[in-house]
Amino acid sequence: MARERESLSHLFREHNRRVLLAAYRITGSMADAEDVAQAVFLRLAADSALVADNARSYLYRAAINGALDLLRRRRTSHSEPLEGAEAMAAISASSSPEQEASSRQLVALLRQAIGELTPRAAEIFTLRYLEELGNREIAKLTGTSAAIVAVTLYQTRTRLKNRLIELERKTR
């Protein structure tokens, strides 16, 4: 029992920041990211067999899936405004209030559209474009081939583009 607790503490110290950041990049809320990270580590504490071979891969995927689940649960409600770093990067210091609002709205619509994807497509898209991993690394993390990753990304980008156009029309 003490050995399992020490192992869990080690995994938490080693991976908590990465789990937290992965969830934050998807949710855009540090409070939500902390909730997701807590749920991931609580699940791990309840069943340490979940991380048999590759803790990094398991925890990373669990964080992404937990964050996507959170977005899906909120799909019917209004999303909270994005206050994260990626929104600030998208909004330049010299932009007008209208441009800032438009950029924030686009990020919120993208989050909503990602939340509507299949879990596999959302995970691959997130790993590629939010976590900036290469196709080979994504293939390794997800247990598939780089070719499948490339095809999934192509199809997902097409779906997201069409869905964003549709969502943007609804908000006008």
Token readout for 7 is 């192992």
pLDDT digit string, tens, across residues 46-79: 776 666 567 788 888 889 889 888 888 876 554 4
Residue 125 and residue 153 in contact, taking contact as beta carbons nearer than 8 Å: yes
Closest by Cα among 35, 28, 31, 23 to 81: 28
Domains of the chain: 2-171 (1.20.140.160)
Residue 81: pLDDT above 50? no
Distances (CA, A) of 89 to 22, 63, 65, 82, 125: 17, 23, 25, 12, 20
| Rounded distance between C-alpha atoms, residue 144 and residue 149, angstroms | 7
Tell me the H-state helices in the chain: 2-27, 30-46, 55-73, 85-90, 97-115, 119-125, 135-142, 146-171
pTM, two decimals, is 0.63
pLDDT digit string, tens, across residues 124-161: 998 898 888 899 999 988 889 999 999 999 999 999 99
